[in-house]
Structure 1
């Protein structure tokens, strides 16, 4: 596949923090992608929530299935725009590594708990995971990813403005990621692929959960035309297939709009290098204004009917209580942490350093592990030696 002049070139990568011999068979961005796939943090996404808590049903998306879907969409868009598919895929697969248990609810809880110690941000935590917490290699901490992949993780949602999350600022001081500029085109693709994936599959999961009906979706912008097209092509189709066909069309509509709009933006900018995209005033990968407006109505519907649905809000309160119990417990009883985490505690100095270790430990938990630990440690059961750690 031909790459454009503005695509990231693995031969011109800015390299890794710790120099390594190049592979004979894989580009540096392919190696990044493969290290992410083989990481412990990526495997844990299997049991981390997307919207519904992981144990609520086998058919609902998890962070793992979501990340795979994002990568698939991102590969398609990157290929159509002449960008580097391997780098795009690496950023897409890693973009949710920093999410704690219980999704955005867990992030909000940890951000509040960590407010006296620099806060918590899942994008910054992803950087902390791939540069420090994945401690498997003999020659370095983390995965030693290329500058381009790290930049994409840090900035895929746009330039990072002050106040910069502490976990990101800490790494940037050692290996500057040019936080004030835009990310390259590959990371911009990963970000919009995330939007496409969650807007599409959250509609499907909400239907399966009974939070709204297909008739309600058919009254929304964009979706109405999709349902109408299915009804014209397949009159009398059974409801399950009708929903799937309509949402499939909605998904394709979003992808095609991004490709068409982004091609027009790239033609207007005429970037000669990846850095031209980084220095551009506006993103080069985007929805058209009309689709962005209509998609806003779909997002408003999801926020009201799904993300703030009564049953979801009840679960939000329950899982917030879990983290609000575990955090102060480990802060006051670091001896309850697994052995390798206790070694970090022994080397730490001060309450903030301890709080960040506890935060790293809890953020790495899966939904089920957090619930199990809470049941064991906070519900009156005898406190014993901790079990298998999430970063083990």
Structure 2
């Protein structure tokens, strides 16, 4: 792969666009993302703690902003090194930083309410409906079922930015191909991934999940071609190697959620001060800082800052050390996992699994959130079933389905077949904030 292709500034579905003199297209991409309604809704979506009333606990929007900040720093360091190596032209370090920051801003834009438990709830609900093989779910092509039963926020995010938001069905936000390439962690459809041999799926990090729905595969193929991403083609289908900057976006995300989850656990009372201080101290390299006079909150904040700085240095070094494999598409790991901080991150991950993600309040709210999502899906599905019964003519809807569609302002455009209807249902539910989902659940169930 070559940086002249990887930093492709051509807009998706708008190849004739020419950027202005005073504002990089990659900066415009970032601005389009942060001013969008899906990005704004992240302010009321769970990061780790659902429906938390403490204003200092992170939600998805703040997390995305922080990931963008860390990603920009990572990319600037890497860019400086690439200039020294003669790999990119002078000042292109800013292009790298702007691409990564934009991709970081968008990286969670497709996540449903209630975090990863929300993804699981949507997937399990669809799996149960497919088992009955009735109505719309029964009419869906079986090859497409995995798009719903393994519902994936990354694929939903690409659908939002490339199709639904702004220029609907005409490139979406029309972001640059470089930013869309850096966004795509899992460059394969669910159908292709499911048909690939197990050893192939396990052998490449970009196939850990799927990242694009079949309906948007052609759009990503356009992105991949523009960025010069290597394509793998077989009887199972086609998939692509990751854009090198995906590893940088992923590292920024890994750094932020691992470290900040600890800070939030202290703030929420799920972990005691001494446990959080020790974990952050280890990751920060045990800095000898005088914290006399600091409150506990201030000391944790200082250690969080130092830990992020050290993790950035370690991931930049890991990128340099694995550069050849990253550029030929064979590198298959997360930068944090091959960095000098890998051991500390592993310890934090274990701590989170054992004591943060299993905290009583979080567990109770995830159970409630799961039922909320199921209530919404149960209540809204009849609208799409009725739409199918009237030949996809939304003007012909009558009775209770028409009331629900009106009350929820459901978007019924472009629906003319079962997969389009089920994706529209998933669009609505995954786009909800935590609190709106709770409100709609109560309305639909009469509570």
Equivalent position of 1:388 in the other structure: none
Is the Cα contact below 8 Å between 1:78 and 1:85 reproduced in 2? yes
Asked whether 1:207 is paired with 2:238, we answer: no
Q: 2:36 aligns with which of 34, 39, 56?
A: 39
Q: 1:279 aligns with which of 309, 326, 329?
A: 329
Q: 1:154 aligns with which of 179, 184, 188?
A: 184
2:5, 2:285 → 1: CA distance? 39
1:226, 1:349 → 2: CA distance? 54
Q: Which runs of 5+ in 2 are unaligned?
A: 80-92, 131-144, 195-208, 225-230, 232-237, 385-400
Equivalent position of 1:121 in the other structure: 152
Equivalent position of 1:385 in the other structure: none
Equivalent position of 2:15 in the other structure: 19
2:293, 2:168 → 1: CA distance? 61
Is the Cα contact below 8 Å between 1:227 and 1:246 reproduced in 2? no
The 1:218–1:210 alpha-carbon spacing in structure 2 relative to 1, beyond 3 Å, is same
Asked whether 1:171 is paired with 2:201, we answer: no
Query: Residue 172 of structure 2 aligns to a residue in which SS?
Result: coil
Render the CA deviation track for 1:236-292: whole Å, top value 9, x for unaligned: 6432222222222222221111122222333xx2x9xxxx71524446955545521
Asked whether 1:229 is paired with 2:287, we answer: yes
Equivalent position of 1:133 in the other structure: 164
Alignment of 1:294-309 (within 5 A): 294-309=344-359
Equivalent position of 2:235 in the other structure: none
Equivalent position of 1:251 in the other structure: 308
Alignment of 1:309-328 (within 5 A): 309-328=359-378
Equivalent position of 2:84 in the other structure: none
Render the CA deviation track for 1:90-114: whole Å, top value 9, x for unaligned: 1100000010011111111012123
1:42, 1:241 → 2: CA distance? 30
Q: 1:93 aligns with which of 79, 91, 105?
A: 105
Q: 1:111 aligns with which of 123, 133, 150?
A: 123
TM-score, structure 1 length as denominator?
0.83
Is the Cα contact below 8 Å between 1:262 and 1:287 reproduced in 2? no
**Residue 171 of structure 1: how far off its partner (Å):** 1.1
Q: 1:143 aligns with which of 159, 168, 173?
A: 173
Is the Cα contact below 8 Å between 1:85 and 1:186 reproduced in 2? no
Q: 1:365 aligns with which of 426, 432, 436?
A: 432
TM-score, structure 2 length as denominator?
0.73
The 1:182–1:362 alpha-carbon spacing in structure 2 relative to 1, beyond 3 Å, is same
Is the Cα contact below 8 Å between 1:6 and 1:277 reproduced in 2? no
1:123, 1:225 → 2: CA distance? 28
1:308, 1:183 → 2: CA distance? 33
Is the Cα contact below 8 Å between 1:99 and 1:107 reproduced in 2? yes
Render the CA deviation track for 1:324-357: whole Å, top value 9, x for unaligned: 1110110023431348635337x3223x432221
Is the Cα contact below 8 Å between 1:53 and 1:367 reproduced in 2? yes
Is the Cα contact below 8 Å between 2:188 and 2:240 reproduced in 1? yes
Q: Which runs of 5+ in 1 are unaligned?
A: 381-392
2:368, 2:4 → 1: CA distance? 45
